[in-house]
Chains A and B, each alone.
Chain A
Amino acid sequence: KAGVTQTPRYLIKTRGQQVTLSCSPISGHRSVSWYQQTPGQGLQFLFEYFSETQRNKGNFPGRFSGRQFSNSRSEMNVSTLELGDSALYLCASSIPSVEQFFGPGTRLTVL
C-alpha cells in the first residue's frame, strides 16, 4: 500500500508570493490534517479535512487555507508569503480514529 505523498518536496518562494502544497493520503483514508513545523514553534496543527469538509482549524491567519477533493487528496494554500512561513509542512492521513501516518513533508523557504 502506498504511503502518504506530498508534492513538491522543496519550494523556494519570495515574500508576497503564494504557494500551493499537495497531499495524497493513503488509499481508503478520508481524513487529511496539515501541520507546520518550525524550530521555534515546533509542530503546530493547521487544519483537518474529512469528506471534503474542514473539520478543525488551528490558530493561523486567514492567509492559510486548504481544501479536500472527492478523492480525499488535499491542498493547502498560503497567500502573501512572509519570511516566518518558512517551515516544513507535513500532512497526515487517517481513516480516522486510528493511527495517523505522515508524508515526507514539503520544505518551504521564503526569501
Chain B
Amino acid sequence: AQKITQTQPGMFVQEKEAVTLDCTYDTSDPSYGLFWYKQPSSGEMIFLIYQGSYDQQNATEGRYSLNFQKARKSANLVISASQLGDSAMYFCAMREGDQGGSEKLVFGKGTKLTVNP
C-alpha cells in the first residue's frame, strides 16, 4: 500500500501568491515524522520543514508552513508569497518509528511546482 500520496503531479502559481501542495500518508505507527523537501533541477534535496506526530502545533519555517491534520492523515505544505526560485519538485516523506530505530524515509512521487511571473 502506498504510504505517501501526492495527488498533484504539477501545480502552477503566480508569483507572490500562496500555494498549497497536498500530501496524505498512511501508517499505523503512532510515532512518525513528516518531511517536505524541495528538489530543483540541479538534483539536490533541500530540507524545508519537519512535523512530528506528537507536535501540538503546525510547523513553520519562514515562508513554509505545514498544515498537519492528524485525523485526516494529511500534511499539506503551504508556501506563502511564491517566488520564481520556488519552481522545483516538492517531495513529501514520512519516517515511521520517529523516536528511534530507523531513519528510513518513504517518499511520495512529488509535485512539480511552476511559479509564473
A contact set with B: CB distance below 8 Å: 31, 33, 35, 42-43, 45, 48, 50, 55-56, 58, 88, 90, 92, 94, 96-105, 107
Chain B's interface size range is 20 to 34
| Beta-carbon contact of B100 and A99 below 8 Å | no
Cβ proximity bits B75-117 to A, threshold 8 Å, 1 near / 0 not: 0000000000000000101010011111111110110000000
Q: Which residue of A lies closest to B102 (CB)?
A: A56
A-B contacts, 17 of them at CB < 8 A, read A31-B103, A35-B105, A42-B110, A43-B105, A45-B105, A48-B103, A48-B104, A96-B103, A97-B98, A98-B50, A99-B35, A99-B47, A100-B35, A100-B103, A102-B45, A103-B44, A104-B42
A sample of 19 more A-B contacts (CB under 8 A), given A58-B104, A101-B47, A107-B43, is A33-B104, A35-B105, A42-B110, A43-B91, A43-B105, A43-B107, A55-B101, A55-B103, A56-B102, A92-B103, A94-B103, A97-B100, A97-B103, A100-B95, A102-B45, A102-B46, A103-B44, A104-B44, A105-B44
Cβ-defined contact, B107 with A97, below 8 A: no
The interface residues of chain B lying within 8 Å CB-to-CB of A55 are 101-103
User: Which secondary structure characterizes the binding site on chain B?
Assistant: loop
Q: How far is the CB of A46 from chain B (nearest CB, A)?
A: 10
How many Å from the CB of B46 to the closest CB on chain A?
A: 8
Closest to B106 in A: A45
Q: Which residues of B lie under 8 Å from residue A96 when comparing CB positions?
A: 100, 103
The yes or no answer to B37 lying at the interface (CB within 8 A) is yes
Inter-chain contact A45/B109, CB cutoff 8 Å: no
* Min CB gap B102→A, angstroms: 5
- Max chain A CB contacts within 10 Å: which of B43, B44, B103? B103
The reply to whether A105 and B103 form a contact with Cβ atoms under 8 Å apart is: no
Question: Quick one: which of B100, B105, B106, B109 contacts A100, CB cutoff 8 A?
Answer: B105
In the complex, chain B residues whose CB is within 8 Å of the CB of A104? 42-44
In the bound complex, how far is the Cα of B103 from the Cα of A92, in angstroms?
9
Contact B104 A56 (CB under 8 A): yes
